[in-house]
Amino acid sequence: MSRTLLSLGPIGAVLVAVAYWGAGCGIQETPGILVVSAAFGDPLPGLTAEELARFEAGHVVFSRIFEVADGLGPRFNENACNACHTDPADGGNGETSVTKATRIDPDDGRCDLLSLAGGENLRIRSTTVPRNENARVPVPIEATHVAQFTVPFLFGLGIVEAIPVERLRNLEDPDDRDGDGISGRLGADGTGKPARFGRKSDVATLADFVDGAFRLEMGLTTHLVSDEARAGDLPPVGAPGADPASEPEIDRATAEAVTDFLRFLAPPGRAELEPASEPLVRRGEALFTGLGCAGCHVPVLAAGPSPVAAIDGARIGLYSDLLLHDMGPALEGTCAPGATTREYRTEPLIGLRARRQFMHDGRYGRVVDAVLGHDGEARAARDRFASLDRLTQEALLRFLDTL
Distances (CA, A) of 374 to 87, 153, 297: 25, 20, 13
Residue 345 has pLDDT above 90, yes or no: yes
pLDDT tens-place string over residues 12-58: 323 233 333 333 344 433 444 679 999 999 999 999 999 999 999 99
pLDDT tens-place string over residues 72-120: 999 999 999 999 999 999 999 988 899 999 999 999 999 999 998 999 9
Residue 130 has pLDDT above 90, yes or no: no
- Per-residue pLDDT, averaged over 290-302, amounts to 97
pLDDT of residue 355: 95
188: number of Cβ within 10 Å: 18
pTM score > 0.85 for this model?
yes
pLDDT tens-place string over residues 258-283: 999 999 999 999 999 889 999 999 99
Summarize the chain as % helix, strand, coil (round to 5). 30, 15, 55
- Per-residue pLDDT, averaged over 364-377, amounts to 97
pLDDT tens-place string over residues 169-215: 999 998 888 888 899 999 999 999 999 999 999 999 999 999 999 99
Going by C-beta distance under 8 Å and a sequence separation of 6 or more, which residues neighbour residue 359? Answer: 331, 347, 370, 373
pLDDT tens-place string over residues 210-254: 999 999 999 999 999 998 877 766 677 667 777 889 999 999 999
**Which amino acid is it at 338?**
G
- Are 94 and 86 a contacting pair, CB within 8 Å? yes
Rounded to whole angstroms, the Cα distance separating 274 from 188 reads 43
Closest alpha carbon to 301 in 129, 158, 123: 158
pLDDT of residue 342: 97
pLDDT band at residue 388, thresholds of 50, 70 and 90?
very high
Q: Could you tell me the residue ranges of all domains in the chain?
A: 11-400
